[in-house]
Structure 1
């Protein structure tokens, strides 16, 4: 599991702690050259109560952009190396449930008719949702990284992604790897500084 996926996610969410639990699956699917780490890995992290579970996946079998997708009740925020895209959602059902297509005919018609009468907008009154797109320099651009580092050294001010932050991101990756090898969920025991099988 690439530590940059975890550190980027933690930075964007403002988290600076290790996950409480991790579960990972994967395999060596492309690079069968004697390595022991998976080239495809999916990890699910639990950061505790009140926080959504985090799913990260890594695929070293092909080139693909590093993409983060944050999903909430008002839409999706998608972050890539060069862009931030917001895809709004109203937070209410805008179409009948697709499960209803599996209902028997009479039941399906009894569901669809009142749903459309109650929810369909009048012609010309259809809602329009506006998304936002921002484009900028690469987050891997060297100059801003070096500038922040030199300014921190010069001013003696702490940086956001300090040694503790890096340790928490690395610990999440160690937990994912331990889960992969143990074939079980693992938890972090901070008091004993150990990773335990679930």
Structure 2
């Protein structure tokens, strides 16, 4: 629908997702018998800074940038992937600028529990928001000059717009009476459709049954094995989606907008 021009010229994309419970915020309980005797702690740390054995760091690794990628790696990647599939693109954002903080889960973590990111894709703004402090279903909105398409977990909404005034401008209220009457008359002569040809924009929502997104991924993979045809989200697709998430984190921790430098294979600050 987007490619066919159903919403006109695309000019903004926004997406959001949120949780509001301890499990959703990765406050997982460590295994009761976890100890240095059954976990090679130094190997688990790898190249991360050395620290004493910490069962909570092991169980809740997403909470710290030394071990994980936070809401960007857990949730943002799904918003990015869904957007790219919907648009039929496979790109790295031109730039990213992030803001957020730790507002809900003040448990010693250093990864933000609210993370808002403004990307640039295809020359247009893409605004994505993640929160671990308020439950919100996954929503993506594609906004254009002729309407919008909203994707939710189990529904699609199409809301067309004419992009035109539906009545004479309120600004004419400051005109002298005779001028206002003339303007109003000319406006209706120019804009009123002939009888029976009035546009009838109608918002349409299609609700689906509960959707298991695991099955299509598995099926696509198995079909690729059988046919040797490419999968929808191959390694390059995954790399570029993940790279957008790394850019979101780098921008947050550096406090500056960032961009991907293909030549050096690194994320660089723009400030």
The 5 Å alignment of 1:64-143 reads: 64-95=136-167, 100=171, 106=174, 116-117=184-185, 118-119=187-188, 121=192, 127-143=199-215
TM-score, length of structure 1 as denominator length: 0.84
| Structure 2: distance between partners of 1:162 and 1:65 | 26
Per the alignment, do residues 171 and 114 of structure 1 end up closer, same or farther by CA in structure 2, a change over 3 Å counting?
farther
Distance apart, 1:139 and its partner CA: 4.9
Superposed CA RMSD in Å reads: 2.7
Distance in structure 1 (CA, Å) of the matches to 2:101 and 2:262: 29
- Does the CA contact (< 8 Å) of 1:78 and 1:84 recur in 2? yes
Question: Cα 1:35–1:132, aligned 2, differ >3 Å: closer, same or farther?
Answer: same
Partner of 1:29: 103
Alpha carbons of 1:114 and 1:79: their partners in 2 closer, same or farther (altered >3 Å)? farther
Q: TM-score, normalised by structure 2?
A: 0.63
Partner of 1:47: 121
Q: CA deviation at 1:143?
A: 2.4
Q: Does the 8 Å contact 2:220/2:232 carry over to 1?
A: no
Residue 36 of structure 2 corresponds to none
1:134/1:196 CA distance change after superposition, 3 Å? same
Q: Which residue of 175, 189, 194 maps to 2:261?
A: 189
Deviation at 1:134, TM superposition (A): 2.0
Q: What are the ranges of 5 or more consecutive residues in structure 2 without an aligned counterpart?
A: 1-71
Q: For the Cα contact (< 8 Å) 1:22–1:175, is it kept in 2? A: yes
- Report the equivalent of 1:10: 84
**Local SS of the residue matching 2:202:** coil
